[in-house]
Amino acid sequence: MKLPENLNQKLEKRKENNSIRKLPVFNNLVDLSSNDYIGFSKSESIFKLTHAYLLENEIFQNGATGSRLISGNHSLYQISENYISQFHDAESALIFNSGYDANVGFFSAVPQRNDIILYDELSHASIRDGISMSNAKSYKFNHNDFEDLEHLILKFSKTNLYIVTETVFSMDGDSPNLEELVQLCEKHNCYLIVDEAHTLGVFGDKGEGLTQYLNLHNRIFARIMTFGKGLGCHGAVVLGSPQLKEYLINFARSFIYTTGLSPHAVATILTAYQQLEIETEAIEKLRQNIVFFNQQKNLLGLKPMFVRSKSAIQSAIVQGNENVKKLAQQLQDKGFDVKPILSPTVPEGQERLRFCIHSYNSQDEIKQVLELLHDLFFK
């Protein structure tokens, strides 16, 4: 059966704009594109420890498919949520199946009809989708611009205000001034929610995340940690008060109406968190590679084309879908898996090469790819 014509027209428009999305194929190139920052997704020790834990505790016998409110709430959930809340110095933790589920569930359920949501204009699509499902009104503020944010806060000061940001933005790799933002929210009695998808496993001595590293975590209403990046596994967790956890269990539809994770999946999350406690060498190596990347791009005169970032995400602006795709292909042809980010994923004129740095990248690889970028861009 043919696709409806209006859908076909949308696909054709993407092709005309050179922005059609396709599933990538597996390759053996140097990984500079995945979010597996400290290599946990390919960790043999996590794989073996997960299976050993399940067998030793016979937890696999307690598993059943279904919503956690019916038959899917096996014993490992409580063990893991307790461990995670202690690791993050949080009052409580509630595991969701993915970062998308956590954001959609939280933002569609918590802000109410007469509340206001103020979110950074570069917030992730999962946050925006959740906000669009909320009964609250929402307004975006200019990226990391707290003067613009305070203007909106004062405009809507007579209701509950939820302020939303990310600790590291997925396309730019930059961070807000969290200390200033926390103070602003406390000044105006706002509820601050931060998405820490790209800081878990990256910031902090044990990869706790940026707000915990800065000792701001106890001044934040909710933190959302996603496991599909630094932990290399499925799932996410909302950290907050016990009352927030109880509320989400009762009203977050992406939690209520979905099958719970299997014991194996939850055991993988627990094992990955336990490995964070001892994998400090990988976290330190990642930190060194981020510093080295920034040093090399400065030495090569590439700094002006990059968005300022001290995270594992480094983005070089190359305007135009055709231009950035061509440059990415040239890097891939030389053995480096660097992906182009096209409009409309980012605004037109802000197309970019997105470099993701890992603990397992060598400094020689980093130096080579940046020298190659220099030669290709300035030849």
280-378: CATH, from 2.30.40.10, 3.40.366.10, 3.90.1150.10, 1.10.3720.10: 3.90.1150.10
Of how many residues is the chain composed?
379
Tens of pLDDT, residues 361-375: 999 999 999 999 999
- For residue 313 the two structure tokens come to 């995400």
Tens of pLDDT, residues 6-33: 998 998 988 888 888 888 777 789 999 9
Tens of pLDDT, residues 1-10: 988 999 989 9
CA distance 258 to 247: 17
Percentage of the chain beyond pLDDT 90 is: 84
Measured from the Cβ of residue 125, the count of other Cβ atoms closer than 10 Å reads 11
Tens of pLDDT, residues 323-358: 999 999 999 999 999 999 999 889 999 999 999 999
Segments of the chain assigned to CATH 3.90.1150.10: 280-378
Q: What is the pLDDT of residue 64?
A: 64
Residue 62: pLDDT band (50, 70, 90) is low
Q: What is the pLDDT of residue 105?
A: 98
- Pair 121, 140: CB distance under 8 Å: yes
Partners of 192 in the β-ladder: 163
pLDDT at 61 exceeding the cut of 60: no
- Residue 144 Rama label (left phi>0; alpha psi -120 to 50; beta): left
- Pair 153, 160: CB distance under 8 Å: no
Instruction: Provide the b/e sequence for 324-354 (b: ≥16 CB within 10 Å).
Output: bbebbebbbeeebbbbbbbbeebeeebbbbb
Q: Using CA atoms in the order 112, 118, 124, 126, what is the torsion angle rounded to 10 degrees?
A: 10
The residues, any chain, with a CB within 8 Å of residue 343's CB and separated by 6 or more, are: 17, 19, 321, 349, 350, 351
Q: Among all chains, which residue has been given the structure tokens 């509950």?
A: 160
Amino acid symbol at 111: P
Residue 94: pLDDT band (50, 70, 90) is very high
Q: What is the pLDDT of residue 284?
A: 96
Q: At what angle do helices 99-109 and 242-251 cross, to 10 degrees?
A: 90
What's the CATH class of domain 44-278? alpha beta
Q: What is the DSSP string of 99-168?
A: HHHHHHHHHHHSS-TT-EEEEETT--HHHHHHHHTSSSEEEEE-TT-HHHHHHHHHHTTTS-EEEEEESS
Question: Residue range 307-314: average pLDDT?
Answer: 96
Q: What is the pLDDT of residue 357?
A: 98
Mean pLDDT rounded to a whole number for the chain = 94
Question: Residue range 220-225: average pLDDT?
Answer: 98
Percentage of the chain beyond pLDDT 70 is: 98
Q: Provide the CB-side half-sphere exposure for 335 (13 A, CA).
A: 7
Segments of the chain assigned to CATH 3.40.640.10: 44-278
Termini Cα distance of the chain: 49
Q: What is the pLDDT of residue 20?
A: 84
Q: What is the pLDDT of residue 123?
A: 96
